[in-house]
């Protein structure tokens, strides 16, 4: 059944100038110009048509939920929101939220340093990296730039790998807080800090989070292995699990206002971006050439070669296989494109798919 809703928006300028605009279009005329109607069914049909033609060699699912809870989903091929996908960097936001969840419960503090919780932390006080804090680890400004091979080795121990991170980066002469460098090492150290502070494994922390929130029932941190999970990219999850997580996050059900403010702040506004895959690409694949900034485990998007956007308006956590979770805070919707493509080569695939349908989707969200 076709659902019709009249969506009329009046701006101050429209009021003063006698102009009226509808969510399906706009026009000029007298102050009594007729309303322009929008059809949810028609807009969803338009999204179906656009997404069916989207360029992707892999099956994918696209889903978005607007402020009133209505969810639109498109599946191509065998993909569904119940299909298990490898997260890559889509897990960064999840890991950051779980760690902030512990900060909120006074298990950790953002000013804590690795040596406050990790007894075997090898970086000496003479090294600038000795001063890195949990906040800098979550914002990728800790000074770590090298990801050792153990991050992708199933047989490595979690703590042993974090010590390898420290040893690989020691002596690099980078002072924490002086630059942003996108790497997995930051979250791995933060995860061990959380595990040691909580006196339980990362897997136990995840299980506790699941139990208390009801989120991610079909998802797990198991790559490269359950005993050595890569917090920055080692989840397997379903699209619906991630959608439920995004809804809980944007509805304020996971973190309080202070924690959300920290999570969503632009923590890189005053530092140079030393490495950003969104600008230059990763794994040999292309980047966007756009200057995105970073919060805690999430990007602040900006479709410009120089950051000139309002930070926090649109945030996301794309993965190198093409998955793209996003949250437009200004318009009240959140969604995801999920697929398993080629590492690096498909970094932009989910973003491109979402951008191809964005204008129609925004009309749908406002209708």
Among 354, 356, 349, smallest CA distance to 58 is for 349
Q: What is the DSSP letter of 237?
A: E
Q: What is the pLDDT of residues 125-169, one digit of tens each?
A: 999 999 999 999 999 999 999 999 999 999 999 999 999 999 999
- Mean pLDDT (the chain) is 91
| Average pLDDT rounded to a whole number, residues 17-22 | 34
Does any domain span residue 2?
no
Does any domain span residue 177?
yes
Q: Please count the residues of the chain.
A: 367
Q: What is the DSSP letter of 213?
A: H
> For residue 268, what are the domain limits?
59-366
Does any domain span residue 127?
yes
Could you tell me how far CA 72 lies from the centroid of its own chain?
20
Q: What is the pLDDT of residues 332-357, one digit of tens each?
A: 999 999 999 999 999 999 999 999 99
Q: What is the pLDDT of residues 292-316, one digit of tens each?
A: 999 999 999 999 999 999 999 999 9
Flag whether pLDDT at 20 surpasses 50: no
Give the pLDDT confidence score for residue 37 in this predicted structure: 79
Could you tell me how far CA 39 lies from the centroid of its own chain?
31
Torsion of CA 76, 91, 298, 65, to 10 degrees: 40
134 neighbors 121 (Cβ within 8 angstroms):
no
- Identify the CATH number of the domain in which residue 309 sits: 3.40.710.10
Does any domain span residue 54?
no
Looking at the whole model, is its pTM more than 0.85?
yes
Cα(333)–Cα(247) distance, rounded to whole angstroms?
9
φ, ψ of residue 141 in degrees (nearest 5) = -115, 20
Give the pLDDT confidence score for residue 36 in this predicted structure: 58
Give the pLDDT confidence score for residue 307 in this predicted structure: 97
Flag whether pLDDT at 72 surpasses 90: yes
Pairing of strands 220-221, 4-6: unpaired
What's the number of domains the chain is made of? 1
Does any domain span residue 326?
yes
The set of residues, in sequence order, having a beta carbon less than 8 Å from that of 94 and lying 6+ positions away, is: 87, 216, 235, 242, 245, 297, 317
């Amino acid at each position: 059944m076709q659902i019709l809703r009249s969506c009329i928006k009046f701006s101050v300028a429209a009021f003063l100038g006698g102009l009226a605009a509808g969510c399906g279009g706009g026009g000029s005329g007298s102050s009594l110009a007729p309303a322009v109607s929008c059809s949810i069914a028609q807009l969803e049909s338009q999204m179906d048509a656009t997404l069916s033609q989207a360029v992707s060699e892999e099956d994918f699912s696209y889903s978005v939920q607007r402020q009133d809870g209505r969810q639109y989903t498109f599946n191509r091929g065998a993909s569904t929101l119940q299909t298990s996908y490898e997260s890559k960097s889509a897990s960064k936001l999840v890991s950051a939220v779980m760690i902030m969840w512990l900060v909120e419960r006074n298990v950790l503090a953002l000013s804590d340093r690795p040596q406050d919780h990790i007894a075997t932390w090898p970086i000496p006080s003479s090294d600038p990296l000795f001063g890195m804090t949990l906040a800098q680890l979550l914002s990728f400004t800790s000074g770590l730039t090298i990801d050792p091979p153990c991050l992708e080795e199933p047989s490595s121990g979690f703590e042993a790998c974090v010590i390898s991170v420290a040893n690989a980066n020691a002596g690099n002469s980078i002072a924490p807080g002086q630059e942003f460098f996108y790497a997995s090492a930051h979250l791995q150290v933060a995860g061990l800090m959380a595990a040691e502070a909580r006196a339980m494994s990362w897997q136990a922390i995840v299980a506790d989070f699941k139990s208390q929130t009801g989120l991610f029932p079909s998802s797990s941190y198991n790559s490269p292995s359950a005993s050595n999970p890569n917090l920055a990219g080692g989840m397997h999850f379903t699209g619906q699990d991630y959608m439920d997580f995004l809804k809980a996050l944007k509805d304020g059900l996971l973190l309080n206002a202070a924690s959300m403010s920290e999570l969503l702040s632009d923590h890189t506004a005053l530092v140079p971006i030393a490495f950003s895959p969104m600008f230059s690409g990763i794994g040999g694949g292309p980047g966007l050439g756009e200057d995105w900034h970073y919060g805690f485990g999430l990007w602040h998007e900006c479709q410009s070669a120089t950051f000139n956007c309002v930070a926090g308006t649109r945030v996301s956590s794309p993965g190198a296989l093409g998955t793209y979770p996003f949250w437009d805070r200004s318009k009240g919707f959140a969604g995801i494109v999920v697929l398993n493509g080629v590492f690096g080569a498909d970094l932009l695939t989910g973003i491109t798919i979402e951008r191809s349908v964005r204008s129609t989707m925004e009309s749908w969200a406002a209708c």
